[in-house]
Amino acid sequence: MEDKNFEFIKGGVATAAGFLAGTACAAIKKAGKRDVAVIYSSVPASAAGVFTMNRVKAAPLLISMERLAAGRARAVVVNSGNANACNGAQGMNDALAMAAEAAVVLNIPEDEVLVASTGVIGRKMPMDKVLPGVRAAAGEVSPDGGPLAAQAIMTTDTYSKEAAVQLELGGRKVTIGGTAKGSGMIHPNMATLLCFITTDAAVSAACLKKALQHAADLSFNMITVDGDSSTNDMAVIMANGLAGNKEINDEGDDYTYFRDALTAVCTILAKAIARDGEGATKMIEVKVLGAATEQDARLAARSVAGSSLVKAAVFGNDANWGRVICAAGYSGAAFAPDKFDIFLGDVQVARDGGSLEFSEELALEVLKQDTVTITIDFKSGGCGATAWGCDLSYDYVKINADYRT
């Protein structure tokens, strides 16, 4: 993505004009932990979303998908600690009740409230705790509530994730801000990942949808932690137009500029999720160059970033480049096996499809870094792609072995 002179600023989901957020401690998780958030636009907003490709979809996600078909939303109510997935008709009723409760407090139409949940699958929602939490969160929405909302949506995350940029559209300053959560059950195809983005730009729902899909394809759909795609993953954007720019309703220069700024926000959040993978000690960045097609590059990059053997090698500081090309080879990407080069950082470890003498000491220094960059050059074309993941440590098993307890 070329530099568009975005101004990266401190902020998150309540940074854009007219957006507020509130939170509550409802004891869905542990006592004293914020676990309900409400994100709200003070004026009507266009909206769009992208959702998990998992065939099993949680009740909140189904409701949000249906409501976003109208291209508008003014609020999102989110809980952590319980996914409200695989709970049948009761799960749908509970998700609808959450939206209805928020709508009453905010005094907005119920069908303009989206719902999201994250946590344990197959556990009944404790509605005696959830609904008071929704009331409390909706009752305290404020422009200062973004950082706490970022905390309230976390599950196994070790830190909250926020990002914001400003840009100029039609002579007006526009802000895009967002928050995301995700640490485990992360894999391309909108894998548990939740992301909420707000902007004061005026953008039609159709253009929002196209821009968000583009951004997700280059960010959230290029990260992997463990190969699992959740039942609850979604990314939602609301645009309320308070910046006063002329509405973006076609794919002209303003659309492209907005789309690229949105992609920048999503990429920051996606990389933060990859870095915060459960038990991770390092982030892995996989760059594929010289591919014949973008699809080939994307397939190979995601495959290498997701390989358990590559991830384990990075954790163990082992410059085992054979695992890298093996993962590229089964990815479905087309490339010439006798042409590829591989680099760990700046250290070349393979050339023209075969081995070469390289410094194990220099490779070790690369592998000890917080971010380990693996570059594969197929030397077959002009296309490329980047994927992000993390190493596979002993702690990943520990975290997930006792997740419910």
Question: Mind telling me the catalytic residues?
Answer: 192
H helices within 114-252, ranges in order? Answer: 127-139, 146-152, 205-218
Six-digit token string for 40:
């709200």
CA distance 158 to 175: 27
- For residues 84 and 194, is the Cβ–Cβ distance under 8 A? no
Judged on CB neighbours under 10 Å (0-12, 13-18, 19+), 394 is exposed
CA distance 16 to 43: 12
Handedness of CA 132, 136, 139, 142 (dihedral sign): negative
Six-digit token string for 83:
């996914």
CA distance 239 to 208: 8
Beta-carbon neighbour count of residue 142 at 10 Å? 12
- State the DSSP string of 303-326: HHHH-HHHHHHHHTT---HHHHHH
Judged on CB neighbours under 10 Å (0-12, 13-18, 19+), 123 is middle
CA distance 399 to 42: 40
Q: Which residue is listed with tokens 């139409």?
A: 109
What are residue 223's DSSP bridge partners? 388
Pairing, β 194-199 against β 113-120: unpaired
CA angle at residue 381 from 302 to 337, to 5 degrees? 65
CA distance 145 to 151: 10
